[in-house]
Structure 1
Amino acid sequence: MALDYWLSESGVNVAFHAGLDTESKVIQNRKDSLKNYHIDNLAYLNQIHSNIVLKGTSGGLIGNGDGIILDKKGIVGLIMTADCNPVLLYDKRNDVLAMLHVGRLGVESRIVFEGFKILSLEYGTRASDVFVYVGPSIRACCYEVRSDVFCGDSLSLGKIMRKDSIYLDLIKVLQAQFLELGFSDIVIDKNCTCCSREYFSYRRDKDCGRLGLFATII
């Protein structure tokens, strides 16, 4: 088996909870984004900015959480973002993957560690087995934050001062977490969602839709 993953096209909203599209329009957007896969096999979450990772054994809403584990062919996972990081961990040896919604709270709660722990305990995944993909997200150029974001140490590595403003480089913090876990096969999309009109950005446009990261084992 192998991995297939892709992003929804520019301006295509795949979330029921965000944007101004009707439910029927979002369903059609998901169908169009699924390529040759059937929408009944689409597994997705009610994303809550947590470190909860659930197994996707069938299509449909699988629960409240921010991570999906897929270990069989035929099921397509969906992670929705509009500035947060869509992250994929794929075990090349065991053909199992974790899809994660990783915003600031997800980084602080170490959802990447939770996803890898499940892969390790249930499938014997080793760090050297893992391919990592990080999709478009808000980057240090645009992610201005308040000082209280750094009340703990978990994000301090990403703190950037520019004159009287504070910015957060969440990718830098994520890269440090990947290094701590021992990952080395890493691809990070270069695009900032806030800079580029090609992507939805909650920071730029509050009433926006959501980008979709889709992935499946083939």
Structure 2
Amino acid sequence: MKIGAYYSHLNGFEWIQYHHKDMWDEIVGVIGSIDLSKYMTKVSKEKTKMGNLLYSPGELNQIIKEGFAKLGWYESRTNYWVTDDYDLITKTMHLPEADQKAEIEKAGKIPIRSYNQTDFVKNRIAVEVQFGKYSFIAYDLFVKHLAFFVGNTIELGIEILPMKSMQALMSSGPGYYEGALYDLARQGRGVPSVPLILIGVEP
């Protein structure tokens, strides 16, 4: 597998090249180490692809996870509390987790526990690998990476997606690089307000 294209949002690529070029080299190395031919194991049940062998997202995610784990990348999870009052949420979101709950209860509201989780983090860089449903891509780009950035957990978010040439050999659910790039472009240059690198991979 190789990088077919990438897009630097708010100078994300320039940031990693200046501050952590070694991290970029690790990401490129993990991607390049995967022999896609080993993971075309999913037998399609879709009408238009019935019986065809397709890339298995589950197996690909697992081998990518193992590759990053060997290099010291780890999963990160941030817990927090929400409620139905906008002003109260903005007041509590930057407090420690326990204090968030206490403040919400003090205001007479019901605290609801929630969390953000990202696949791989190292040196304040978050990497998401998205071979699943296309709707998850927008959540990663416009919610998850932004939340970790605003929370001062990361400086850069990276989203790894299949190019259309690879997605065509998968089930119909996954999104693809070119579509995500369009979604970023139509929001304007400053949205979302977090440095990102969108990476498209292909055979």
The answer to whether TM tops 0.5 is no
Higher Rg: 2
Report which of the two has the higher share of strand.
1
- TM interval, shorter chain, is 0.3 to 0.5
Structure (1 or 2) with the greater helix fraction: 2
